[in-house]
Amino acid sequence: MIRSPLVRLRRLAGLGALLGLSACARFHPAPLALRPSPAASLAALDRALPGGGTIAARGALTPGAYAALAVLNDPALAAGREEVRLASARQFAAGLLPDPQVSGGFAALLGGPGIAPSISGGIAQDIAALATRGPRLSAARARTAAAAARLEWQEWQVAAKAETLAIGLWGEQRRLAALARARDALAGLDRASRAAIKQGDLALGAGAAAAASLAGIETARDAIARREQADHAALAALLGLAPGAALPVSEPDSAPLPARLVAALVGSLARRRPDLIALRYGYRAADADLRAAIRAQFPLVSLAVNGGTDTTRVASLGPTITLDLPLFDGHRGAIAVARASRRQLAAAFRAALDQAAGQAEAAQQALTLLRAEYRRAVRRAAIARRDAAAARRAYAAGLIDARAEADLIDAAANRRAEAIDLRARIAAGRVSLRTLLGAGLPVIRSLSASGKD
């Protein structure tokens, strides 16, 4: 049976469409969740550590444990991980070659000396994409590595913020406990003073001292309680917990960094801190973009093979080459933009490196001052505590009045709270210094060509 050319063309077109559709992805809806879903307690969180082991959900946790929980459960980090997946998808797309283009045509014979309809067909491939594929793929790999480094830096900062908030909670709870003890002592003194005033044994002015000191203690407690509530809510949000979830915190155990180690870490910031490594990968991507732009200035070539039959059934087959002439554009604009982008990224990296070094050195100096201030505060608190104990004995013996005892109790409570606050600030400062230095993170000696180290 003889098939007409039109039938054959239709079958070839149908086969091509079938092959194209077989490679197509399918759409699946993914509706958004419109209701918040915070966890109710620490036990409901993801507590499995990557290297094995599980974070306990009972009892007081160290600030470091809260840092690990924040990295595992912070909702904002989920978006950062999706950014890395997006960069990986773009890297995959950059490595794909353009699909060949198939063309076909049919013209029916309506009149003239011809004896048959004409049929034409061809297949074309863009060859110019091969010239820029290498640098484009290198740029995509570098951007994927940069996204991964930015995610690591984001995790590092979330961990530091959670640890700092936990340290703040510990300090605020200790300060509240110290002020509560002073409040109880002043409340007892106030009751005794009021009874003595009522009996006429004490002047009204002298008996009012305990009430005034008690009001001052209550005001201080209210301020600290508000701060504790704010830190509790912020830490719960980092963990993906409901605001009312219990967050017991144990004593911070952060060790100081020796001065020599700090100096060594400052010297290797560019090879350790993830944000600086991300900028280095960004510079590498800009460098690859410039190489791709320079390669793209050469004449773009498209190769095609065309064939067919005319109305006299004369068959022909041969190549077709399409060549762009770089007379006006010549890709010079894209090259200029790529060079400017590379210079801008180099300047941004230098500024970020200098800023990171300056912040680390400033944090180290602030810690030195805090430690000296803490030592003085501890001595003042010890003296005030002894004075308050002596005042209670002297008041019981009738050697001093209620005003003197109230003043000394108030001073002892404030000195104790001050020492606790400075200790918490030192612990938080150590966390900040470790974060700024990237202490504990591996040193990246060189950036590999594949974007992985």
HEC readout, the chain = CCCCHHHHHHHHHHHHHHHHHHCCCCCCCCCCCCCCCCECCHHHCCCECCCCCECCCCCCECHHHHHHHHHHHCHHHHHHHHHHHHHHHHHHHHCCCCCCEEEEEEECCCCCCCCCCEEEEEEEEECHHHHHHHHHHHHHHHHHHHHHHHHHHHHHHHHHHHHHHHHHHHHHHHHHHHHHHHHHHHHHHHHHHHHHHHHCCCCHHHHHHHHHHHHHHHHHHHHHHHHHHHHHHHHHHHHCECCCCCCCECCCCCCCCCHHHHHHHHHCHHHCCHHHHHHHHHHHHHHHHHHHHHHCCCCCEEEEEEEEECCCCCEEEEEEEEECCCCCCCCHHHHHHHHHHHHHHHHHHHHHHHHHHHHHHHHHHHHHHHHHHHHHHHHHHHHHHHHHHHHHHHHHCCCCCHHHHHHHHHHHHHHHHHHHHHHHHHHHHHHHHHHHHCCCCCCCCCCCCCCCC
Q: Are residues 335 and 371 in the same domain?
A: yes
Instruction: Among 272, 307, 330, identify where a domain stops.
Output: 330
pLDDT band with cut points at 50, 70 and 90 for residue 9: very low
The reply to whether 85 and 223 lie within a common domain is yes
Would you say residue 23 lies in a domain? no
Partners of 22 in beta bridges: none
Residue 313 is part of a domain; what is its CATH number?
2.20.200
Domain containing 318 equals 96-126+297-330
Structural domains counted in the chain? 2
In a domain, 269, yes or no: yes
Report whether pLDDT(129) > 90: no
Specify if 34 maps to a domain: no
Domain-located, residue 50: no
pLDDT tens digits, 73-125: 988 898 889 999 999 999 998 888 888 888 888 888 777 777 888 888 888 87
Q: Does residue 169 form part of some domain?
A: yes
Task: Specify whether 114 is located in the same domain as 86.
Answer: no
Specify whether 71 is located in the same domain as 205. Answer: yes
Claim to verify: residue 312 and residue 224 sit in the same structural domain: no
What Å distances lie between residue 119 and 103, 312, 316, 324, 439, CA to CA? 11, 11, 11, 28, 71
pLDDT in tens, 246-277: 999 998 887 888 889 999 999 999 999 999 99
Residues 371 and 400 in one domain: yes
- Whether residue 184 sits in one domain with residue 304: no
Q: Per-residue pLDDT tens for 177-211?
A: 999 888 888 888 777 767 666 666 555 555 566 77
Query: Residue 363: what pLDDT?
Result: 93
Task: Give residue 30's pLDDT.
Answer: 78
Q: Do 205 and 279 reside in the same domain of the chain?
A: yes
Average pLDDT over residues 10-19: 52
Residues across the chain: 453
pLDDT above 70 coverage of the chain, percent: 89
Tokens of 39: 């966890």
* CATH number of the domain that residue 239 is part of: 1.20.1600.10
**Per the domain annotation, does 42 fall within a domain?**
no
pLDDT band, residue 6 (cuts 50/70/90): very low
Nearest to 135 by CA among 277, 287, 278, 281: 287
pLDDT of residue 367: 94
In terms of Cβ atoms closer than 10 Å to its own Cβ (0-12, 13-18, 19+), residue 38 is middle
pLDDT in tens, 160-175: 999 999 999 999 999 9
Whether residue 288 sits in one domain with residue 180: yes
Q: What pLDDT sits at residue 10?
A: 52
Task: Name residues whose C-beta falls within 8 Å of residue 148's C-beta, 6 or more positions apart in sequence.
Answer: 84, 87
Q: What is each CA distance from 63 to 166, 261, 368, in whole angstroms?
A: 5, 23, 22
Chosen domain end from 313, 330, 347: 330
Same domain, 122 and 155: no
| pTM for the structure as a whole | 0.80
pLDDT greater than 60 at residue 15: no
Domain edge (last residue) among 330, 354, 376: 330
Do 291 and 411 have their domain in common? yes
Q: Are 305 and 186 within one domain?
A: no
Judge whether 181 lies within some domain.
Answer: yes
User: Which of 51-55, 69-73, 358-362, 417-421 has the lowest average pLDDT?
Assistant: 51-55
342-349 long-range CB contacts below 8 Å, 24 or more apart?
Answer: 342/283, 342/286, 342/287, 342/289, 342/290, 345/279, 345/282, 345/283, 345/286, 346/283, 348/279, 349/276, 349/279, 349/280, 349/282, 349/283
Work out the pLDDT band at 19, boundaries 50, 70, 90. low
358 domain-assigned: yes
